[in-house]
Amino acid sequence: MKFPLRHCALALAVLLGAAPLAQAACNGIDIAADTPDARFKDGAGGVADSATGLVWKRCPEGLSGAACDSGTPVTGNWGEALARVAAVNAAGATLGEGQSDWRLPNRNELASLVERKCTAPAINATVFPRTPAQSFWTASPYSLNAGLAWYVDFNAGDVAAAPKTGARNIRLVRGGN
């Protein structure tokens, strides 16, 4: 019986006790990218987004390095996410990539990073490497319930509200409103 090469690689990884590497599943070239590489420019103090004028931290909070391959993602409840912003800005020379005006993005800003042709994670993984396929807090409270705030889930790109007490990832932005 013949097995496709990808099945053999998966079987070998299981036999050796190694988990296969997580990789975004992206649709074919016939679907235009929402967040093409050309939209972003890497520079001192973050990644500039030409479509929105915002500057993003390349790595989720807790990760560092050009490939975001050092550290562990920081998660926290909504209040802890806001406190993380204050901590990063207070330590701008180190945690803030030389900047001290970072903030939690609003719902629309963070949703602008969703790459709808990809899932797990639903983001441009070249520009934003090692982004967990999980949810990230926004600064937007849910207006109908003070106990809720909006988040963007980078597993499938969903945007929803959740209790502020839940733990979510954090990505920071500069500029804009």
Let me know if residue 5 belongs to a domain.
no
The pTM for the full model equals: 0.84
Q: Is residue 105 part of a domain?
A: yes
Summarize pLDDT for 9-40 with one digit per residue, the tens: 333 333 333 333 346 788 766 778 889 999 99
Answer whether residue 51 is part of any domain: yes
Burial of 40 (0-12, 13-18, 19+ CB in 10 A): buried
Task: Tell me which residue range forms the domain holding 134.
Answer: 25-174
* Number of structural domains in the chain: 1
Q: Are 101 and 54 in contact (CB under 8 A)?
A: no
Indicate the average pLDDT of the chain.
Answer: 87
Q: Is there a domain that residue 19 lies in?
A: no
Query: Is position 18 within any domain?
Result: no
Residue 1 lies in a domain: no
In a domain, 103, yes or no: yes
